[in-house]
Structure 1
């Protein structure tokens, strides 16, 4: 990593020498701004990365990006973007020099993920948002809250409502921010990739990409069994740009490129009702609900490595799961109204609840960087709960 930083500074100094006359007094303030940001990246952020790459987006107004993957192997963050004027771009064809658009990394983004003491988790510390059985959406109320994801930079909470055809967004303190409903067709699974929100539209068998505020960027898919065709897309995950989509009725995971193009199929002939997927630095975890177990695939060639079959003796109706920093598995069980925590070898660590009312019809479950387990359920008293 030190070599990359040294190279980065070399490029900055080259810019200082090559274009000082061109931009006159403006260069000083721009370099000062960039140097401060690079210092922050070096001291606060790059040490947390396991991967680091520079992307040359020549078709996007000479924009160049640096992107990183966090230590957990699945949290993607766009760290900084540069936009070059044409002369500089033509001359250097390398790392960018002018900071014109910067993603500021929040304290949440820089925070090291916490492994909680699971044994202390018995009842929710926060229970909020009401159940709304009508067909009239109300802010902060949900009819079928099925999907849940936490944005990795801000910590904002995104909850999909399958029946109200929308995604509602809240800050980490559960204060409502905004909602979006464009191109919604029964939204379920949610994930984030490169400052985009990706949503599985279960009811209409396609995938949508949105800006973080909900603007529709792209839509792909239709019902079917071929490439870029889906049948009940449910869980979704991202890794280094690639997307992994569980198709419950097609019994497979479809792998898409960053631009929502087809890349591959995973698990054909091995999966039955796959509901959720998570990706680490080298493996793909797929929750198979028909005979509850966890299939684990190699991220490089998508070949099955092993299966954790001990889950089936305890879990009845799992819908979603998440992984903590040590790849312990946190699974929701709607039939037993509880949350299970297993080691990545299938040993039961802890169970939260047993027919617990706040976990009635529990769907998505995630663990945030603070070690809090968050979930959505059909409980009339509080559809969003934090343990």
Structure 2
């Protein structure tokens, strides 16, 4: 049996069960089995920044090369002009003493012609340089507009305010029953939420879909899916992990959301899983899956084949994973709890400590903004904490209302993700509201 958490809280006497087991051990057993939490975020914004910066750097280098070439030509022209002026002055002095006057006059005439050529305007060179320079300046200006429009840099978490409080707990369509993870389809700005445990009187476990304003749109499920947990979207593919059947499902974003592929059984071999949590998809379509109880990250291709491990070195209970253009961030049950690796599996650094008296008490999911700030939900205390890329805490957000924090001591947060507009979308486990949206602008 796999232990999901290391933090336990005693209940009152009305919640005793399991025969002679006392309340403390019963809560410990319950927490170990039923409250693994996960999240996910897409890294599209980071990839845009990286590629546009590469293009801008290349353009600027070419611009500087052309400018240096123009300066070098001007310097050579000035040097030649000064040499000819010196020769002219020397010749004029010689004419004054009538030394070979006729020859000197011819030389002087030749020098005057050369001076005229050196001083003459060179239209072709000037026009070519001017046209190239103007073209480069236009491209750089357009690139600046793209960066300004597509990649907002300011993340004002201190001024965060709730803009939408929607989607109550329940089993009907448009309600959420035990929400787990949340992801944004950046092509349509739709919000996808996994619902973990099916109700005995309600529908099957499912994926519910909402607008970026929280309005219900649709839902889908599959008979083989019993406990959907993590979720990721790439192009028109939806990838979902299931912690009960220990598998990864691939659905197509179409009218009926058909099941395209399924991989996994319980086990420790390559292609098997033991409690798969969240997942992330790279720009080339590779799917990175946190294989929680096997202490590893498995990488699949877009059709759930061609499987390998990110690194052979164990990662202690990986819970969540996020990808940037050049790094892999893994949230695990270790200290520090954010492990940063290269895409080749090399360990680069570790950030953020986990524990009751540390940076976060208990975290199951996180996301990264375009400035590489790390946004983590402190599950036990219903808070969201923001750390900079060096791992320093820069802000704490109290998400739940005061009465909620008193009523639900086991925490409020579950999955979280940032939208293109820098709105923070959260789903809840212990709250009347199961989906809430906050503005970070």
Say if 1:113 and 1:371, in contact at 8 Å, map to a contact too.
no
Taking the aligned partners of 2:346 and 2:48, their CA distance within structure 1 comes to: 19
1:236 Cα deviation from its structure 2 partner: 0.5
Task: Please list every run of 5 or more consecutive structure 2 residues that lacks an aligned counterpart in the other structure.
Answer: 1-42, 50-147, 199-204
- Alignment match, 2:162: 124
1:242 and 1:199 mapped to 2: Cα distance?
14
Match of 2:294, SS?
coil
Give matches, 1:284-363, under 5 Å: 284-291=328-335, 293-299=337-343, 301-310=344-353, 313-353=358-398, 356=401, 357=404, 360-363=411-414
Equivalent residue number for residue 24 of structure 2: none
Q: Does 1:276 align with 2:302?
A: no
Are 1:201 and 2:257 counterparts? no
* 8 Å Cα contact 2:334-2:354 kept in structure 1: no
1:180-226 Cα deviation digits (max 9, x unpaired) = 01132211111111311101111110000111242111111111111
Alignment match, 2:260 = 217
Q: Structure 2 CA distance, aligned partners of 1:74 and 1:318?
A: 28
Query: Counterparts of 1:199 and 1:314 in 2: how far apart (Å)?
Result: 30
Asked whether 1:381 is paired with 2:432, we answer yes
1:167 shift after superposition: 0.2
Which structure 2 residues correspond to residues 31-70 of structure 1 after superposition, within 5 A? 70=44
Secondary structure of 2:231's match? strand
Match of 2:46 among 69, 72, 94: 72
**Change over 3 Å in CA distance of 1:113–1:128 after alignment to 2:** farther
**For 1:265-319, what per-residue CA distance to the aligned partner results, in whole angstroms no more than 9, with x for missing partners?**
13554421111000000110000134451101101x1111111144552211111
Partners of 2:376 and 2:352 in 1: how far apart? 14
Aligned residues: 279
| Distance of 1:378 and 1:178 partners within structure 2 | 21
Question: Structure 1 residues 267, 124: closer, same or farther in 2, change over 3 A?
Answer: farther
Q: Which residue of structure 1 aligns with residue 196 of structure 2?
A: 162
Asked if the contact 1:166/1:180 (under 8 Å) is kept, the reply is: yes
**Cα distance in 1 for residues equivalent to 2:339 and 2:186:** 26
1:190 equivalent in alignment to 2:231: yes
Cα distance, 1:320 vs. partner? 0.9
Contact 2:238–2:250 (CA<8 Å) still a contact in 1? yes
Match of 2:415 in 1: 364
Higher CA-based Rg:
2
The structure where helix makes up a greater share of residues is: 2
Q: 1:198 to 1:111 in 2, by over 3 A?
A: farther
Question: Which residue of the partner structure matches residue 218 of structure 2?
Answer: 178
Q: Deviations over 1:60-85 (max 9, x none)?
A: xxxxxxxxx9551289xxxxxxxxxx
Higher RCO (CA 8 Å, separation ≥ 6 residues)? 2
- 2:272 matched to 1:229? yes
Partners of 1:292 and 1:316 within 8 A in 2: no
* Structure 1 segments unaligned to the other structure (5+ residues): 1-68, 76-109
Q: Does 1:152 align with 2:215?
A: no
Relative to the length of structure 2, the TM-score reads: 0.60
**Mapped partners of 1:138, 1:74: distance in 2:** 39
Distance in 1, matches of 2:396 and 2:253, equals 33
RMSD: 2.3
Match of 2:158, SS state, is: helix
Q: Is the 8 A contact 2:337 2:350 kept in 1?
A: yes
